[in-house]
Amino acid sequence: MPAPFNTIDLSTLALKPGGGRRLDLELIPEPLELGGETYDFGAEPAPGRLDVSRTSSGHAMRLELRAKLFGRCMRCLTPAEFEVEVESREIDQPGTGDEELASPYVDGGELDIAAWAHDAIALALPQSLLCREDCAGLCPECGVALNDLDEEHVHEREPDPRWAKLRELTD
Ligand SMILES: [Zn+2]
Ligand SMILES: [Zn+2]
């Protein structure tokens, strides 16, 4: 496996217009802050692939990445692991004078893969990160995590006196 790297100087690829290069890479993206929680990528670098092709006045790039994210389930708050798959494209044609065509991740010919991966992952994540699709969350009464309880979790409740009153009225 190649060593982890976070930036790459595109000029070192020495691509001719129309030419392209595929690079296998390993990345540890910066942790994400979501809803006041930190989600990090652990110690294992995430495997990815970068395709760079040279256009007439710049580069077109495509990043594919598979990563594991570690943090708390947003519903039951237990530590969990989340799989993320990302595919993202960027174009950098600095010479055209068109802001839209200058990639925010390329600076002086240097592509910041880690920053790009970070943003692409943030965009690709679902609205809520759940330990499992049907996570039962926390009991609203006592706060216990409901997923792994063997028995049905119910709280004995005093019957609401208003219902008794209502029953009297309708009888
Ligand atoms: Zn959960
Ligand atoms: Zn409870």
Torsion sign, CA atoms 107, 111, 114, 118: positive
User: How far is ligand 2, taken at its centre, from the CA of residue 128, in Å?
Assistant: 23
Residue 1 confidence (pLDDT): 40
Q: Which residues, 6+ apart, have CB-to-CB distance to 4 below 8 Å?
A: 25, 26, 27, 28, 45
User: How far is ligand 1, taken at its centre, from the CA of residue 140, in Å?
Assistant: 14
User: How far is ligand 2, taken at its centre, from the CA of residue 9, in Å?
Assistant: 56
Residue 114 confidence (pLDDT): 87
What confidence tens digit (pLDDT) does each residue in 28-44 have? 888 899 888 999 998 88
User: How far is ligand 2, taken at its centre, from the CA of residue 111, in Å?
Assistant: 51
Closest ligand to 76 CA?
1
Closest ligand to 139 CA?
2
Average pLDDT over all residues of the chain? 88
Predicted model pTM: 0.76
pLDDT exceeds cutoff 90 at 57: no
Percent of the chain with pLDDT over 70: 93
